[in-house]
């Protein structure tokens, strides 16, 4: 299941994000979206978790959790083919 994480503190690093989600299970991939010009975080990213039960637990526990100075928002990505 691919998850969208929004409202990330711009100082959050990919390793921190991955560690946050690994508390709930296996993380297949973790990608912070970076600005091409400045190399700074755009404040959102994606985490992919192969087991939907673990992904749902991560959503339930991490949505609206304060990370750094921001309350992050976590949700399942929308299927573009729908």
pLDDT at 38 over 90: yes
Output the average pLDDT for the chain: 94
Give pLDDT, residue 81. 56
Cα–Cα distance measured from residue 71 to residue 77, given in angstroms and rounded to the nearest whole number: 18
Q: Is position 10 within any domain?
A: yes
* Domain encompassing residue 16: 2-64
Q: Which percentage of the chain shows pLDDT scores above 70?
A: 95
Q: Name the 3-class secondary structure at 50.
A: coil
- Give the pLDDT confidence score for residue 18 in this predicted structure: 97
pLDDT band at 80 (very low <50, low <70, confident <90, very high): low
Whether 3 shows a pLDDT value over 80: the answer reads: yes
**Structural domain contains residue 48:** yes
Find the CATH number of the domain harbouring 23. 3.30.70.330
- Dihedral Cα 15, 16, 20, 22, nearest 10 deg: 20
How many angstroms separate the CA atoms of 28 and 22, rounded? 10
How many domains are contained in the chain? 1
Cα–Cα distance list, 33 to 5, 7, 24, 47, 51 (Å): 10, 12, 22, 11, 23
């Amino acid at each position: 299941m691919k998850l969208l994480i929004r409202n990330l503190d711009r100082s959050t690093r990919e390793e921190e994000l991955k560690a946050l989600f690994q508390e709930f299970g296996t993380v297949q991939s973790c990608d912070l979206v970076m600005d091409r010009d400045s190399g700074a975080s755009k404040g959102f990213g994606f985490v992919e978790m192969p087991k939907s039960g673990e992904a749902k637990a991560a959503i339930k526990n991490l949505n609206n959790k304060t990370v750094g100075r921001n309350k992050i928002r976590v949700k399942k990505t929308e299927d573009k083919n729908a």
